[in-house]
Amino acid sequence: MLSSISVYIKKKLLPSIFPYYRMALVTKPPFVATLLLGALLLQSLQITEAQIGACYGRNGNNLPSEQDVINLFKSRGISRMRLYDPDQKALQALRGSNIGLILDVPRNNLNSIGSDASAASRWVQSNVVPYASNVNFRYIAVGNEIQPSDSEARSVLPAMQNILRALQSANLAGKIKVSTVIDSGFIANSFPPSSGVFGNSNYMNPIINFLRNNGSPLLVNIYPYFSFTGTPGINLNYALFTAPGTVVRDPNNGLQYQNLFDALVDAVYAALARAGAPQMAIVVSESGWPSAGGNAATTGNAGTYYTNLISHVKQGTPRKRGQAIETYLFAMFDENLKAAGVEQHFGIFTPNKQPKYQLNFS
């Protein structure tokens, strides 16, 4: 830890404050301290910033209008959104909002877009180009949790390539990154975290190469809730960020884990390193806790999880200390048309726009 701090100070912090130091040399001594302190504070803010978003799922028959949803995002200071399909009313409502957007290419489009470059061009021309001047597209997510055994799996990488070419033709590739979404089940040997490896390298390695070559992050859905409920012996406090001390010590590198979220994310980082992409960023494209419908699914637990997640992701993980993680809470609303049980109770707001928890998104 001390050595990494030393490298950071030498390579990033000192060069960044040098202009302020030169200015201070020709000013009065009290102003020297003010300038240097200000520069240090600015730099510290940059390394701890973590943009928090919310997933706008629309699988309900009682949800607010698209414009009301965008207004709610803005009034609550939620600066990022994930939209699972290119709904035209939602895209229209996003105009001028400056909300950073992950836009999904839905599963049912993958085979056509993967096999036909013109289909990719039509998709981009219909769903991105008309809005690009005043909608803040950040990522196009080509497929969500497509498993290697799924019939669409063979189309994921070709669809990513075709979407990128379509963005390039529209002069938008420099602004919008192309990626795909995996879940933590893609990681084999995830305990301890440093042993993480992609379970199907034939499927994942070409995708990782594409992301690395194009400077894109990997989008990952991280759910300590499902790990907790599906794995005997995991302590609830470890899953909720409330453990009082170290729960897991990684014997391979000595890193200490006080919460399950960090362990899951670091297993993905370890898998990326083994795939030849140790510096690739991760965006947590979904993470949440249900308030009803299953084991440990209570309003109290869900509120604790979301509150602690928001405050924690700015810190990074033990493996990537200080590297804040762009994170999207799942989900904006309870969705009554999803499968009965916990799936209907992940909302951070009720459909009538009332907050279920007191969350500070900024």
Find where tokens 């869900």 sit: 302
Catalytic residue among 49, 66, 145, 152: 145
Positive or negative, the Cα torsion across 128, 134, 139, 143?
negative
Catalytic residue among 49, 66, 152, 286: 286
145 is catalytic: yes
The C-alpha atoms of residue 129 and residue 110 are separated, in whole angstroms, by 19
Amino acid identity at 134: N
Q: How many CB atoms sit inside 10 A of residue 7's CB?
A: 11
CB 167 within 8 A of CB 131: no
Positive or negative, the Cα torsion across 191, 192, 193, 197?
negative
> 233: phi > 0 → left, psi -120 to 50 → alpha, else beta; which?
left
CB 152 within 8 A of CB 109: no
The C-alpha atoms of residue 278 and residue 201 are separated, in whole angstroms, by 16
Q: Which residues contact 43 (CB under 8 A, 6 or more apart)?
A: 12, 13, 16, 17
Whether a cis peptide bond, with omega within 30° of 0, leads into 192 is: yes
CB 155 within 8 A of CB 111: yes
Radius of gyration of the chain (CA): 21
> 229: phi > 0 → left, psi -120 to 50 → alpha, else beta; which?
alpha
Q: Which alpha helices (DSSP H) does 149-200 contain, by range?
A: 153-169
343 is catalytic: no
Q: Which residues are catalytic?
A: 145, 286
